[in-house]
Amino acid sequence: MTDMQASVQTSADGPSGIGGWLILPVLGLVATPLRGIFHLASYGEMLQSMDQLTRGQIAFIVVEFIGNAIVLLVMPIALLVLLFRKSASFPRWFIVWAAVGLAFIILDIAAAQIFFGDVLAAAGQALLDADTMRELVRSIVLAAIWIPYMRVSRRVANTFVN
């Protein structure tokens, strides 16, 4: 049996194994922690101006950092472990991660407006800059495509059985 045949086995119920469309969320999970490291490194700039921030703003930055660390580093790595173990809980946790990631971005934008709206306005900076919009759209697309896929895909149902 070739490697291709071993990784994409088919049964009467449909395909199984990590292949087909399932490759795309796997690649995303591999890339997310790498992206997260660069994103979290940007907090260094904020730390340099902490003495100019209010307690509420500092608390927001700390909560945002912890939330981003969980969503961008911890959860994707944990999901990769579940994925390669072919754990039956992988699809459920992937759905949770996708939904929480989207909710976190929306709440982050709202909180940034509350805590930093006046600062951004005074500096002439938009709350929804290109980076923020890109992350928001990415999260919406991820949730809109991959949550239903994890719920209805025969490959997912046949692969994650342990």
Domain that holds residue 51: 3-159
Confidence of residue 70 (pLDDT cuts 50, 70, 90): very high
DSSP state, residue 26: H
**CB 79, CB 27: distance < 8 Å:** no
Look at residue 9 and give its three-state secondary structure: strand
What's the pLDDT tens digit per position in 97-140? 999 999 999 999 999 999 988 888 888 889 899 999 999 999 99
In the prediction, which pLDDT does 23 show? 97
Q: What is the pLDDT of residue 106?
A: 97
Each residue of 92-107: pLDDT tens digit? 999 999 999 999 999 9
Burial 116-141 (b: 16+ CB within 10 A, else e): beeeeeeeeeeeeeeeeeebbeebee
Q: What is the pLDDT of residue 113?
A: 94
What pLDDT is attached to residue 2?
52
Neighbours of 145 (CB within 10 A): 14
pLDDT at site 146: 98
- 31-57 confidence digits (pLDDT tens): 999 999 988 888 877 777 778 888 888
Burial 28-59 (b: 16+ CB within 10 A, else e): bbeebeeebeebeeeeeeeeeeeeebeeebee
The C-alpha atoms of residue 72 and residue 18 are separated, in whole angstroms, by 22
Q: How many domains does the chain have?
A: 1
Burial 68-82 (b: 16+ CB within 10 A, else e): bebbbbebbeebbeb
Burial (CB < 10 A; 0-12, 13-18, 19+), residue 25, is buried
